[in-house]
Amino acid sequence: MTKDLPPPYTALARHPMMPRTRHDEAARLNFLTHFNRYVSGTLGRGNQLAYESRVLPAFRAEHGRDPVDRHEIRDEMNRDPFHRTWSALKRNSMEMRQMNGRQTVLRQLDELDALARQFNEHSGQLELDPAIAQPYYQTCVDIHCQPGGYHSEERPGDVTVGANYDVGLFATTGGALGGLNDGGGQAVVAWVKANRPGWSPRRILDIGCTIGHNAVPIAQGYPEAEVIAIDTAGASLRYGAARAAGLGVTNIRFVQADGEDLSRFPDNHFDWVQTTMFLHELSAASMPRILAEAWRVLKPGGLMLHVEQPQYGPDMPLFEQFMRDWDAFNNNEPFWSAMHGVSMTEVMQDAGFSPEEQFSIGVRAVVDPTIFPPSPDGGQEDYGRAAIWNAYGAWKAAPAQEMAA
């Protein structure tokens, strides 16, 4: 047996809100977990082989030069028979994951809705605001082929989309996010504790929290802090708040709000503002507005941290950029390509942080290594899905001292 075998679905923690899976439902997700790893690893390298052996030579013969950007590579690769086959396999796997998750959730929706209502009525950790409009970037397509996105309802007040997200993250990421799908949030906590030992943030804001799987570990890591987790999608927050209550995490509140307008919070209010795998699901118009608001509500001396897939940058080979771009065009992530093409240093500078205040780091999912193998990297990496991220951050400087007159 190799060490990198993904664990069975039954290794996931059975928190109270987690939909119950039957034998074959878990078995279908087990199949997809293995299948995804096979498609990204064993078959994924075929893309580079096809590119180097026939696509690039044909391009050079026709144009007398190399491709200048990832878009030119995509146009050529989309005509290549292997890449077409590989893309069809990958797209279908995502669609199957959605359908399998939805069958599990929808057959037991009465129980899940009742349980969520019970948790949320008693915990007081959920604050919905029906006046919050769903942004166009959320409604124009269903993000990563998730029917209904994060926001839609099967019936008023239901938890379908949130529950389905929780059920299937395991398969999508090849089992690399750990027992509570919270390896990203745990990684952030581990980094902060190692780099700011003894720091005790009082107020923490997580923007675009969906079901809170990355915000809850921050609340657990800093039990003295008050965590506010916001999202525009009430349907996901309903599940997320009930999930947190079921886990017994009480220092987090789920609030329906739009990151573009944080006027409910005063300036310099939070010690830490966090987003995790959120920015690429926005738009070019909304991202700077959200980041500017995030800067405004962050205290001097406070921490801003955005966990994302790596930005492309001039050092990343064009072919890798093309591979990482796949989800934008084939998995309903339409801002992915533009977002990963910008300089985060400039974006954060526009939001208020000088380059001197900024830093970037690499983080990997923190999971129980006795059960969960590390996310594959290098040639085996599932570009865009791997639990290996960059974090773009800044410690907000205190304003310069006023000179005494």
Partner 1 sequence: MTQGLDWIARSGARAKGRRPAFFDEPAVDRLYSLSLALMAELSATRERLDTVERLLEAGGSLKRRDIEDYAPDRIAGEERGEETRAYIARVMRGFQQEVEAMEQPDPPIMDIVEQLSAR
Residues that bind partner 1 (CB under 8 A): 23-24, 27-28, 30-32, 35, 84-85, 87-89, 91-93, 95-96, 98-100, 102-103, 106-110, 137, 140-142, 145-149, 154-155, 283-285, 328-330, 332, 334-335, 337-338
Q: In what order do the strands lie in the sheet with 298-308?
A: 126-127, 252-256, 226-231, 203-207, 270-276, 298-308, 388-395, 358-364
Q: Which is nearer to partner 1, 12 or 365 (CB)?
A: 12
**What are the Cα distances from residue 30, in Å, to 21, 217, 371?**
12, 25, 15
Q: CA 127 from chain center: how many Å?
A: 22
Spatial contact of 270 and 396, defined as CB atoms under 8 Å apart: no
Q: Is 11 exposed, middle or buried (0-12, 13-18, 19+ CB in 10 A)?
A: middle
Q: How far is the CB of 231 from partner 1 (least distance, A)?
A: 18
CB of 217 to partner 1, least distance (A): 28
Least Å distance, CB 305 to partner 1, is 24
| Residue number with CB closer to partner 1 (265 or 329) | 329
Query: Would you say 37 or 269 has its CB closer to partner 1?
Result: 37
C-beta of 31 vs 265, nearer to partner 1: 31
5/361 with CB nearer partner 1: 5
Six token digits for residue 36: 């995804």
d(CA 85, CA 90): 9
Q: Helix axis angle, 23-40 relative to 81-107, nearest 10°?
A: 160
Measured from the CB of residue 266, what is the shortest distance to partner 1 in angstroms? 29
Shortest Å, Cβ 377 to partner 1: 26
Nearest approach in angstroms of CB 42 to partner 1 is 15
Residue closer to partner 1 by CB (options 29, 242) is 29
